[in-house]
A and B are shown apart, each in its own frame.
Chain A
Amino acid sequence: MTTQNMIEEQKRQLHGIRIRDLLTTVTAATSAIAATGFLFSIAPLSGILSFVLIAYILFIVFFALITAIDDDREGVKDRVASVIIRSAAVIIFSALVFIVFFTISRGFEALPYLNFFTEDMSLAGPLDPLSSGGILHSILGSLIQIAIALAITIPLGLITAVFLNEIPGKYSRFVRTMVEAMTALPSIVAGLFIYATAILLLGVQKSGFAAALAISVMMLPIMIRASDVVLRIVPGTLKEASLGLGAGAWRTAWMVTLPTARSGLTTAIILATARGIGETSPVLLTSGFTASLNLDPTNGPMVSLPLAIFQFVKSPEPTMIARGFGTAAVLMFLVLILFMLARILGSDKNVFGNLAKNLKKLTKKKVAQ
């Protein structure tokens, strides 16, 4: 009886983008660009940014008008809000991609020279061409400083994170609050702090070691927070099973909690490393500056990648600025690589993946016995 009606009924599309919206968007965008072009030709306006701004405002107006043809007030509001939200996301993500590509493309001027990676700047002055001098000293300096910082922050950070989870109470809540406050510690204040304590009070000279201490102050709270979150989702039943079998708190943490969260903890460490390796201002106050290679962190100034960028672009010489961008590209590559490493280690075999693997291993052992 009503079969005909039922065939005519179509499933409504609840997700994704409707064709009509797409057409409306394209129409509104085209007319907005055209109208802005017209405005620019009759009014004294210039610059890409102002063009984009005016075109965008016109686009929103046109879009609202077109939608209003066959939609009610709520519908128009919904459509306009959705367009504004989407465009905010598009702007932010394209800004990110643009910043990365801008840095890397400007850096390509210096990158093809092999000596850029194998020499330091001790024999190259500001007027020398890019075929002499390089950033070997700052690459190695960065690696040494981050290695020392990791040697300090990994044990301290991981044990603190375990503490926050294993001994809950008022005290650990307070510590957690302080960790959060420490995350917001301005990096220049971290530099001042190490300058006031290590350099002025303890007489450590401006060196790679002092810089590593300053970087550690910045990395520690990031590492604690990230590993705290990971440790929090380790299933309580696992720990209880271990405790119930007679293992102590130490054995439980070492053999159950930490291995279960291994991949998440690796991610936490790498994220903190990525942040630490890019810090400039704490290093600025504590490491000193040198143009030559120094592999001894305890003796004499040692330069790192961000500090080298900072010093390069202070110079007005185009070759120095090119070197600065080349160094920035290297730094970005390092951060990107660290980040991908973190994602690969953290995503695929997440906490529960590891758990499953461990359980499988355990049962296998049992069968073998």
Chain B
Amino acid sequence: MAIDTQKPRQLKYVWDFQDRIFRGVMRSAGSSVLVIMALVGLFLTLRASEALGSVGFSFFTTQAWEPDSGNFGIAAVIAGTVIIAIIAIVVAVPFSLGTALYISEYAPRRIKRLLITMVDLMAAIPSVVFGLWGFFFLQNEVTPVAKWLSQNFGWIPFLSVQGSDPSDPLTSNTVFTSSSLIAGIVVGLMITPIVTSVMREVFSQAPIGEREAALGLGSTRWGMVKNVVLSFGKGGIIGATMLGLGRALGETIAVYMIISPVFVVQPRILENGANSVSSLIALRYGEATQMGMSALMAAGLALFIMTLIVNFAASSIVARSRSGASS
């Protein structure tokens, strides 16, 4: 009873001068991130307003990029960006899932650390190096496969190729180069490390008690992985995938080096010609007039908003899942 009436003492803490300055410095450094992000949004919007004002809503529906004659829009490049990102995800997620499971569940303990380091290292390989590899090596290897796919599965709309006769085995190879598929594979390899490391982090947190329970009940290793590790890490897998998607949407140089730009929606992934928002910016900033620059800023703003949405969705999925509390 007496306890109820007792209130905790008010502990008043007086920060001394040095600490007040220190806390102020810390707070403002912390705010710098917010300021930078806000400025990015603000300045892109400001610079984009001229272009957006002149074409209005048709900015989102036009498939062309001629800012100086007032005929431009991001329909084609957004579609191209999404196509490349989806191919990248389709390539990256199975491999990342396998690699992450291998590192966390299958690898011998003594090489585990080494493998984790290698994944981190792979994440630090500059994108221009991936671009070089994709352009000078992968392109030649993918072309025959693309040709074979188009000849045998050309009836599936997105695998068809215009300008190549499926019945003619001697058809030219150039129509299969610089395609969304090749760019997508390279971007997929680029995002694999980051997706792998997020997934591995989540898998390694799967509760040991449940693992042992599954094994103790006679489960095989795969049974344990499927029912304990994968079901525990479901949120983490989705979150990591979306994180990778965010990266894939924003990739510039590797895509720029591989594709040959087109300004129409190009759903045939095996065929020469693709585009993305970021490579459009890299391609056109040099020759841009004031209006052209403003249009590029508008494209950049669209990309910025898109990646922000994907990223926030990813982090909220990860945070809400059972495995996500700590990551």
Contact = CB atoms under 8 A, between A and B. Distances in A.
Interface of A: 15-16, 44-50, 53, 74-75, 77-78, 81-82, 84-89, 91-93, 95-96, 99-100, 102-103, 106, 155-156, 159-160, 162-164, 166-167, 171-172, 174-175, 177-182, 184-190, 192-193, 195-197, 200-201, 217, 220-221, 224, 248-251, 253, 271, 274-275, 277-281, 284-285, 306, 309-310, 313, 321, 324-325, 328, 331-332, 335-336, 339, 343, 347
B128 A189 contact: no
6 contacts: A192-B44, A192-B300, A250-B18, A285-B281, A309-B129, A325-B132
A328 B247 CA distance: 22
B33 A335 contact: no
Interface stretch (B51-59, B67-75, B259-267, B304-312): B304-312
Contacts of A16: 108
Contacts of B98: 84-85, 87-89, 92
User: Which of B105, B222, B225 counts the most chain A CB atoms within 10 A?
Assistant: B222
B99 A89 contact: yes
A343 B120 CA distance: 11
A93 B102 CA distance: 11
A200 to B, nearest CB: 7
Interface of B is mostly: helix
A220 B310 CA distance: 21
A188 B250 contact: yes
A81 to B, nearest CB: 4
Contact of B106 (A86, A217, A253): A86
Interface of B: 15-16, 18-19, 21-23, 25-27, 29-34, 36-37, 39-40, 43-44, 46-47, 94-99, 101-103, 105-108, 113, 115, 117-118, 120-122, 124-133, 135-137, 141-145, 148, 169, 189, 192, 196, 220-223, 225-226, 243, 246-247, 249-253, 257, 278, 281-282, 285, 296-297, 300, 303-304, 307-308, 310-312, 315
Given A249-B23, A332-B126, 11 more contacts: A85-B105, A89-B98, A92-B196, A96-B122, A160-B32, A162-B26, A184-B243, A188-B281, A220-B36, A250-B19, A284-B285
B313 to A, nearest CB: 11
B250 A172 contact: no
Contacts of B311: 180-181, 184
Given A74-B220, A189-B303, A325-B132, A196 B122 contact: no
Q: Would you list the 7 A-B pairs with minimal beta carbon distance, nearest first?
A: A88-B98, A186-B250, A278-B126, A47-B144, A89-B102, A78-B220, A250-B22
Contacts, number: 275
Contacts of A251: 18
A187 B246 CA distance: 12
B101 A85 contact: yes
B49 to A, nearest CB: 12
B145 A50 contact: yes
Contacts of B226: 81
Given A177-B315, A189-B304, A221-B33, A88 B95 contact: yes
A178 B36 CA distance: 10
A150 to B, nearest CB: 16
Contacts of B103: 89
Given A184-B250, A188-B300, A167 B26 contact: yes
Contacts of A159: 25-26, 29-30
Given A88-B97, A309-B128, A102 B137 contact: yes
A85 B122 CA distance: 19
B250 A178 contact: no
Contact of B43 (A175, A196, A248): A196
B39 A193 contact: yes
B102 A15 contact: no
Contact of A103 (B19, B96, B99, B132): B132
A100 B189 CA distance: 13
A134 B18 CA distance: 52
B124 A275 contact: yes
A211 to B, nearest CB: 14
Given A248-B18, A278-B124, A335-B126, A92 B133 contact: no
Contact of B282 (A91, A93, A155, A284): A284
A73 to B, nearest CB: 10
A93 B196 CA distance: 12
User: Which of A45, A99, A278 counts the most chain B CB atoms within 10 A?
Assistant: A99
A285 B256 CA distance: 14
Nearest to B133: A99
